[in-house]
Amino acid sequence: MRLWGGRFTGETDTRVVDFTRSIEVDRALALDDLAGSAAHVRGLGLAGLLDEAEVAALIAGLGALRAEVEAGTLAWDPGLEDVHMNLEAALVARIGPLGGKLHTGRSRNDQVATDLRLWARRTIDGLDAAVLGMERALVGLGEREGDAILPGMTHIQPAQPVLFAHHLLAYVEMLERDRDRLADCRRRANVSPLGSGALAGAGYPLDRESTARELGFDGVTANSLDSVSDRDFVAELLFAVALGMVHLSRLAEEITWWSNPRFGFVRAADAFTTGSSMMPNKKNPDPAELVRGRAARVVGSLAGFLALLKGLPLAYQRDLQEDKPPLFEACATFGASLGVMAGMVETLAVDREAMRRAASEGFTTATAVADALVRLGVPFREAHHVVGRLVAAAEAEGCALTELGDGVIVAALAESRDSAVMGLAGDPELPAALREAATLDAALVSCDVIGGTAPRRVSAALVAARARLDGVGG
């Protein structure tokens, strides 16, 4: 069946019908399409192209269709290739030939561009709320267990001790940037292409700004060619979602390691783990693993979509039909991943002792000892060498820096030819001071700068994060 095209004398080949059909995917735009159509009808009325009775009848018909879509009772016809043709045909079936006036001054090109922007806007709002939920989960865990001490890593090697809350707040920072990117994308997406027609603009005096205001857009697009072919907002949203998934994947990776008994830092709740079909002992963090895996699919969706765009001339091309599957799937994946990761984080059990033991390994407080020497007047590079000798001595003796004897410390100092070090070598209180500087608690306190892991700084950061989150709706 052809809804359009009096120039054709034959039916479309069934293989073409099947190949071009998108209703299974783009029916997700139904409510957006109906909202756009209602605004367009009112615009036609303002332009004198419909009388009051026609506007009222069309609006009532669209409202009835909306109720059917929301109730899930609308029967979709696979013979009508997309959501737009389905809804227009359903409207005609309900109110008669008047429904055929709905498409006056409108093309499916500006119609789908409008629908997709409306969909993107409400989807971004939902994702923003989900990101906030994830942030609240992280901050809640930080408030509950944040004074636990974690071995901070670089190169996957022990580096410096950090508070667990400090580590969690790093992900909160990432998620805040995700929110910023989503908001920025929403701003650029929130302009109306309706009234651009197929590519040259509508052939009637439509008030585009009026329909834009009715639909909640901030304004209208400036060029009709760009209006119908622009999918930058789709690429931006895919990028924001892909990077958000990368952030979740990084946290998922850490949770899988932390929950391994060899580390034992956390234990995932039974509700967020699965067993093995063969091994009775297994407790697998499958949700985290799947988030990690699905991040790859979302990244692939972004790359694939950019490849789709790169060769398209102006204006609309049917290739753009393929924008919706990757976008819809990526956004759904991100939303679901945020939900499951928030639940996982909220229910993590933390083993503080296991964390502290690990933080004590690998001489993670060596930098704090070097800093202590610097505060006594030793150049940092020389302090680095002195503490390197202390680390080598502790490694040879199989002890911690806090367990080194006075003689070993004095000997390491004596090897230096730096005048500041030589001046300290005879201080009988210095070995004890360096051993104190090598404790986990002292090392944490020493990182007392904005953004540092000193307990007072982290406590303030948690308070600020909670206040911000409590001040945001959703």
Give the CATH class of 362-469: mainly alpha
Q: CA 286, CA 266: separation in Å to the nearest integer?
A: 15
- Strand, coil or helix: what is 350? strand
* pLDDT tens for the 474 residues of the chain, in order: 445 566 777 888 888 888 888 989 999 999 999 999 999 999 999 999 999 999 999 999 999 999 999 999 999 999 899 999 999 999 999 999 999 999 999 999 999 999 999 999 999 999 999 999 999 999 999 999 999 999 999 999 999 999 999 999 999 999 999 999 999 999 999 999 999 999 999 999 999 999 999 999 999 999 999 999 999 999 999 999 999 999 999 999 999 999 999 999 999 999 999 999 999 999 999 999 999 999 999 999 999 999 999 999 999 999 999 999 999 999 999 999 999 999 999 999 999 999 999 999 999 999 999 999 999 999 999 999 999 999 999 999 999 999 999 999 999 988 888 888 888 878 899 999 999 999 999 999 999 999 999 999 999 999 999 999 999 864
Which of the following is catalytic: 37, 40, 84, 155? 155
DSSP character for 290? H
Spatial contact of 343 and 336, defined as CB atoms under 8 Å apart = no
> Is residue 367 left, alpha or beta, with left meaning phi > 0 and alpha meaning psi from -120 to 50?
alpha
Extents of the domains making up the chain: 14-104, 109-357, 362-469
Which of the following is catalytic: 167, 210, 227, 276? 276
Q: CA 248, CA 134: separation in Å to the nearest integer?
A: 10
Phi, psi of 150 (to 5 degrees): -110, 145
Q: Which fold does the domain 14-104 belong to in CATH?
A: Fumarase C; Chain B, domain 1 (1.10.275)
Select from 99, 129, 140 the least CA-distant residue to 3.
99
- Distances in Å between the alpha carbon of 427 and those of 276, 365, 412, 434, 436? 61, 22, 14, 12, 15
Residue 103 designated active-site? no
Residue 155 designated active-site? yes
Residue 455 amino acid letter: P
Q: Do domains 109-357 and 362-469 have the same CATH topology?
A: no
Spatial contact of 197 and 105, defined as CB atoms under 8 Å apart = yes
Superfamily of domain 109-357: Fumarase/aspartase (Central domain) (1.20.200.10)
Assessment of whether the complete model's pTM goes beyond 0.75: yes
The tokens for 172 are 């909160």
Phi, psi of 404 (to 5 degrees): -70, 140
Give the number of other Cβ atoms within 10 Å of residue 398's Cβ.
7
